[in-house]
Structure 1
Amino acid sequence: MTARPSHTTGSTDVPLLETTIGADLAATVARVPDGEALVECATGRRWTYRELWDDVTAVARGLASLGLQKGDRVGIWAPNCAEWTLVQYATARLGVVLVNVNPAYRAHELGYVVGQSGMRAIVAVPELKGASFADMIEQVRPDHPHLTDVLLIGTPSWEAMTDAGRASDLDVDAVEATLDPGDPINIQYTSGTTGFPKGATLSHRNILNNGFAVGELLHYTADDRIAIPVPFYHCFGMVMGNLAATSHGATMVVPAPMFDPAATLRAAAQERCTSLYGVPTMFIAMLSDPSFDEHDLSALRTGIMAGSPCPVEVMKQVIERMGAEEVSICYGMTETSPVSTQTRTDDSVERRVSTVGRVHPNLEVKVVDPLTGDVVPRGTAGELCTRGYSVMLGYWEEPAKTAEAIDADAWMHTGDLAVMDDDGYVGVTGRIKDVVIRGGENIYPREVEEFLLTHPDVLDVQVVGVPDARYGEELMAWVRLRDGIGTLTVEAVREFCDGRLAHYKVPRYVHVVEEFPMTVTGKVRKVEMREESRTLLGL
């Protein structure tokens, strides 16, 4: 008997939401107006769904008062805060495209996304962890005359915009009535294999339905309270967190602006959270925090672990010590809004640590031979592909790159190697491309290499991932120096990158060589470099 093909379709019992994000929020407000919508632990601020709606409407009117309208792009460059969420829903109600900017970005990367997206306005915090966002914005503005408005949270520019919104009588509902669920609403930049990041463009339909589906599989109701320490600038925070919550009338709990294990535990305990999110490194940090035993986590029922593979011991501790017996594993990518597969709350621990679950409702996944594109039999490794409502509209203004990722039959090719078992559970076994995943952040070596090539002493550079106990992987740069230059220290590389490259992309190790290992056809042998790197570092 021949093995079944590695192709499976999710259930269609629950129909897709054919509505916009704002209309979905309005329905929730009508259902649970006095339910708690948002809690910001750092400031103690709280919103009911009715209050959230009023503030979202004020921000929408304020943004409209600046002349922003459907299709315009507005950036948000901030850590997790209530204003991030207000801007997320306000832009959605106007049909304005929200451009997520990673708070780790520096001027070099900021300038690129401002230009590539054609950003009209940006909402930002004035500074974060000693880095002046205000200064970096001013640094890039002269090159981008289309960036007309800068709104700094907590300053007069933000207050003036929200005051204008409160004074305005713009009928936001009427604007919203002109929108379509298929309209673009969000651009998220994912590091590109050819240097600069690509802007995955997502619609109301993409992210609203994905957030809703995640919440359905976790059995969310208006009684759930979700601790969201993962960043809003990723789909993990703004879709699996915020949209899963608001589509079910649940509460979004923001423990801190940036991940802090003690603050997250405190928030989960004090706010009686029923669900907790994180990448495995976050759960490891919380479980090993000295204050762990001081916190009553008895309300925890579920949660999500995603971003990188979950170690068995960590999953067991999350279930036993945290009490999150229904914790779920999700797999996906920004380009698929993000989740394609998810474990179910009643799956065994073994399933939850050895697989990334089964296909989501209303989606299809298949595993294909990377060379021929043919579907492989179950139990055989190949490239994982996803098709359905969650696949992005495309990379912003990059049709050629979109065509490389999404084939003529609308399948998104993930670049991940996977195996599907007889029950439809998927195990991700590796990556076809050289992407390095450090603490849940995808890093494409090519982007780091192109940046390091701007160093005056560097002739050539190759970046590979090496194993790391804390982050899963770290970067190691193999460097060839120009004639007469003998050494390049890690410190020198860090100094060169400081303020210009996101911290997680800065190589932890530097190895100076005269030549790279090459194939007979003159291609660099990264596989060999990775093996040798392990030996050199004693890993």
Structure 2
Amino acid sequence: MTVTLTDLLPARLRRSWVVDGTCPDLDLYSLFRARQIADLHRTAVIDAKGKLCYTALDRKVRCLAEGLRGLGIGAGDVVAVQLPNHRNAVIADLALAALGAIALPFPVGRGAAEAESLLRRSEAVAVVAATEHRGLTHAAELHALAPALPALRHVIAAGPGSAPEGTIPLAQLLRTDPTGFVPARPDPDSAARILVSSGSEAEPKMIAYSHNALAGGRGNFLASLMPDDTPPRCLFLVPLGSAFGSNGTAVTLARHGGTLVLLDHFTPEAALVAVREHAPTHVLGVPTMIRMMLEGMEESAGPLPAAPTALVLGGAPLDEATARAAAEAFGCPVVNLYGSADGVNCHTGLHHTVPPTDRSGVVAGRPDPRVAEIRIADPDTHEPLPDGRIGEIVSRGPMTPLCYVASPDLDARYRTTEGWVRTGDLGHFDEEGVLHVVGRLKDVVIRGGANISPAEVERELASHPRVRDVVCVGVPDPLMGERLAACLVAKGAQSPTLDDLGGHLATRGLDRHKHPEHLLVLPELPLTAAGKPDRAALRRRVEEERDAVLVQA
């Protein structure tokens, strides 16, 4: 491996979390292997092909690891994985951990330009990709990029369908004899996985995480949502290749010995079938997905056969109306997760059926130092601010990543000299130590010199009785610089008008200059490959259609 991954946290802090038991100090494959030995026939994965137990999964992992080793892939090599939520993605994750290699998963649906950027900057030596998935031919596309990527030696194609010429069939590697395989034992504080986050940068951000940060820090997050020692059964509505999905193989399986329930493509109908048939203890998704499922539940008869332990919702702001409706429909607590790939995590926990709210919307909860310590800092000086003062949210703890990959400029911008992660979010602590997130340092629409927080407007519009889902974006304007657009999915047959929305916002106390001046009504919001609302696509759509929907101020 030539890409350099430097831990920006003081070494004494990393070791202190091992000494006090916060982190397990074992690599991910060793943790998984211990779980397999403890319960040989527990179900590890439920996917479109059916059930796969821990022992069968481990054999496939060893076969693939030995096959990859035969290709010259070993410790420290970066291997990208672009697969749908399926057992093959789990097998690849664990096989790379067993080799001491570094996994770089990213969701299916990300285009060739983003994939090329990830592979080039990470110096990935191989990529495992789907031959075909929902009309996309990622393996062939990535093979076509190989001449421009000198570090890339192998493209491995996962079926169904024939592997494109020049690629290696994953099925062939899975038939390798695993008898002689001896797993590596990488340093638990070394890199295990690279998380990908689009964020606001021109190219996707890549963030390197260690075995301990995943199994320890992120593992402690899920542990706090497990009321007893029963292994969890987690339904992942988000891609395993997303940052949120990193709670799958490393946390649900390796750390907690649980079961992954996987959908290779999210639809509300398939998700509801999975909830009814597999009775997950935890459902992990973004609020938009839950709103779509709630609509489906209204149309179907009968209650759920068993209530989950929790709905864990992150990746986008959660509004109070959705939280209340979800808690009632699913019969369990709704957990609001405030987190990011960059290294922050805070959630509202199981002691609230419906997360608490304030004037800014749903609160973030009380930080868990076994996951991530959080402070409020002055954005300019980085000095801590007292409770009640609004400042930038910064985070540091057992789940803190090593560094950004091949991006010293991002390290300089988002990491302090003491290792704190700068989130770019604004917030404050109340007198009870609860974190309130109030906005973004830069996520503003500037209309005629006045700043508008899209998140603030979205929170208020979400309470409109005829709005099911809403995203607000800024679009360029020759007169005002920018104007605010509301992109929404209506609830019921009649869509609200701009006047309706403006009247609602006025009753909620929002100044007139914050009211949307464009309206785009859609049957569904477009989602990114990671399952979040696609703000860039919405912005383009509004720009294309704004002449038809522009309201002059």
Aligned residue in 1 for 2:280: 273
Note the alpha carbon deviations across 1:191-236, whole angstroms, 9 max, x for none. Answer: 2544112211111111111332122111164453211111111121
Residues of 1 paired with 2:123 and 2:267: CA distance?
34
- Report how far residue 267 of structure 1 moved: 0.7
Residues of 1 paired with 2:292 and 2:190: CA distance?
39
Q: Residue 27 in 1 paired to residue 43 in 2?
A: no
- Report how far residue 503 of structure 1 moved: 6.8
If asked which structure has higher relative contact order (CA below 8 Å, sep 6+), I would say: 1
* More displaced 10-residue stretch of structure 1: 85-94 or 340-349: 340-349
Q: How does 1:233-312 map to 2 (within 5 A)?
A: 233-239=241-247, 243-254=251-262, 256-289=263-296, 291-294=299-302, 296-312=304-320
Q: Percent of counterpart pairs with the same letter?
A: 25
- Report how far residue 29 of structure 1 moved: 1.3
Aligned residue in 2 for 1:390: 399
* More displaced 10-residue stretch of structure 1: 342-351 or 370-379: 342-351
SS at match of 2:251: helix
Aligned residue in 2 for 1:116: 121
Q: 1:78 aligns with which of 79, 83, 99?
A: 83
Amino acid at match of 1:75: A
CA contact (8 A) 1:59 1:90 kept: yes
Aligned residue in 1 for 2:218: 211
CA contact (8 A) 1:262 1:291 kept: no
Residues of 2 paired with 1:159 and 1:84: CA distance?
13
Residues of 2 paired with 1:435 and 1:100: CA distance?
31
Amino acid at match of 1:473: V
- Structure 1 pair 430–503 and aligned structure 2 pair: CA distance change class (3 A): closer
Note the alpha carbon deviations across 1:416-457, whole angstroms, 9 max, x for none. Answer: 011111111111111112389xxxxxxxxxxxxxxxxxxxxx
- Structure 1 pair 189–274 and aligned structure 2 pair: CA distance change class (3 A): closer
- Structure 1 pair 333–66 and aligned structure 2 pair: CA distance change class (3 A): same
Amino acid at match of 1:430: G
Aligned residue in 2 for 1:461: none
- Report how far residue 349 of structure 1 moved: 2.6
Q: Residue 143 in 1 paired to residue 148 in 2?
A: yes
Amino acid at match of 1:509: R
Aligned residue in 2 for 1:92: 97
Note the alpha carbon deviations across 1:53-94, whole angstroms, 9 max, x for none. Answer: 222121211211111001111111122111111111111111
The number of equivalent residue pairs is 456
Structure 1: where are the runs of 5+ without partners? 1-9, 437-463, 481-498, 513-531
- Report how far residue 251 of structure 1 moved: 1.2
Structure 2: where are the runs of 5+ without partners? 1-16, 164-168, 446-453, 462-466, 479-527
- Report how far residue 295 of structure 1 moved: 6.0
- Structure 1 pair 538–200 and aligned structure 2 pair: CA distance change class (3 A): farther
Q: Residue 329 in 1 paired to residue 361 in 2?
A: no
Q: TM-score, normalised by structure 1?
A: 0.77
Residues of 1 paired with 2:80 and 2:407: CA distance?
19
Aligned residue in 2 for 1:456: none
* More displaced 10-residue stretch of structure 1: 241-250 or 117-126: 241-250
Residues of 2 paired with 1:63 and 1:196: CA distance?
29
SS at match of 2:141: helix
Amino acid at match of 2:239: P
Residues of 1 paired with 2:309 and 2:115: CA distance?
39
SS at match of 2:192: strand
Q: Residue 158 in 1 paired to residue 165 in 2?
A: no
Amino acid at match of 1:158: L
Aligned residue in 1 for 2:519: none
Q: How does 1:440-455 map to 2 (within 5 A)?
A: none
Aligned residue in 2 for 1:171: 181
Q: Residue 18 in 1 paired to residue 25 in 2?
A: yes
Q: What is the Cα-based RMSD across aligned positions, in Å?
A: 3.3
Amino acid at match of 1:317: A
CA contact (8 A) 2:231 2:256 kept: no
Residues of 1 paired with 2:551 and 2:102: CA distance?
45
Aligned residue in 2 for 1:478: 476
